[in-house]
Amino acid sequence: MTVTRGRRVGVILFQLGGPDSLEAIEPFLFNLFCDPDIIDFPFARLGRRPLAKLISSTRARKVQHHYSVIGGGSPIRRFTEQQARALQLKLNDLGVDARCFVAMRYWHPFTQEAISHLRWAECDEVVLLPLYPQYSRTTTGSSLNEWKRLFKDDRPVHTVEPFYRHGQYLDALVEKIDETLARFPHPDQAQIVFSAHSVPVAVIEGGDPYQRQIAETTELVMKRGGWCNRFRLCYQSKVGASKWLQPSLRNTVKELAAESVKEVCVVPVSFVSDHVETLAEIDHEARHQAESLGIKQFEMTPGLNDSPKFIGALAGMVLATIGTPELADERLLAADPIPTLYEGRT
């Protein structure tokens, strides 16, 4: 079946990217810290590159062991390309002549590479799909800014909005949490810890909605899952000496141990695929910390990766964005209203 509009749709999946080898860590970090949406200060145009060089060389030595324990490089490209292939198949099955491409912000395949593939595929219109459920100018904003700098074309371009409230996305998270809680002898007794990538407090004070959207995601997932478990939210991956969102994952693990919590289920709530922040920082570093502090069972929910529920959610978002939601099951397009944050759990 072919969409009646008879047009080929190019879908660009935006993601952060990651070094594919130990040698790529420093240039990856240099690209990251050269980003004006990440490093911005008076006269930054003059000082950004030297500062990025200093930070990346120092930071590369600190994080090299993280990449070493997960095989010497980030798997984020592999998982994102799997998502792109699965999404293309899903859209084709739903009657959309779609081609899906990956655009990484700081490592291959870069945005320019995705644009080249898009033109080669002769797509008539474009859907931009940032794989960040919650909006931040440091992630979604940066990817879209890079697109605007590089894409010089008059074909129609549509953008998928932040999807942290999308019903089937939430269902995909609930499914992973249910699977992980089932590993505990008493699933309702494990404390659920939602861990999100941190950002500088100055970014939030500048009006960035990221922190609010993370909190809403956490509440929505708990409500949708219907668990009675206690839960809390923390942040990870702080860089530099400035003030970032707290509490940190490391301090949260310490607090849990001090409270004699013995069973912990960590949910990487701001990530949609497994990479160094989940596989090394949580499932390796935080796990060892928890074990050393007497926590008996520490589990992490796996990334959404190419789970059918998540791919179905992405397909629904694309169809709604191009104005053909009738091709999808209504469940693909369901989104909850903004909830009232409720009390009773910590």
Alpha-carbon distance of 78 to 229, in angstroms, equals: 34
Alpha-carbon distance of 52 to 139, in angstroms, equals: 17
Position 3 scores a pLDDT of: 46
Alpha-carbon distance of 128 to 151, in angstroms, equals: 12
Position 191 scores a pLDDT of: 98
In order of start, what are the domains of the chain with their CATH numbers? 9-15+84-157+313-333 (3.40.50.1400), 22-68 (no CATH), 167-300 (3.40.50.1400)
pLDDT per 10-residue tile (average), the chain, 346 residues: 68 98 97 87 69 91 94 98 98 97 98 97 97 98 98 95 98 98 98 97 96 98 98 94 94 98 98 97 98 98 98 98 70 41 29
Q: Where are the beta strands (DSSP E) in the chain?
A: 9-15, 98-104, 125-130, 157-159, 191-197, 231-236, 263-268, 297-300
Position 56 scores a pLDDT of: 93
Position 324 scores a pLDDT of: 74
Position 24 scores a pLDDT of: 98
3-state class (DSSP) for residue 257: helix
Position 311 scores a pLDDT of: 98
**Residue 187 backbone phi and psi in degrees, to 5:** -55, -30
**Residue 119 backbone phi and psi in degrees, to 5:** -70, -40
**Residue 253 backbone phi and psi in degrees, to 5:** -60, -40
Alpha-carbon distance of 277 to 195, in angstroms, equals: 10
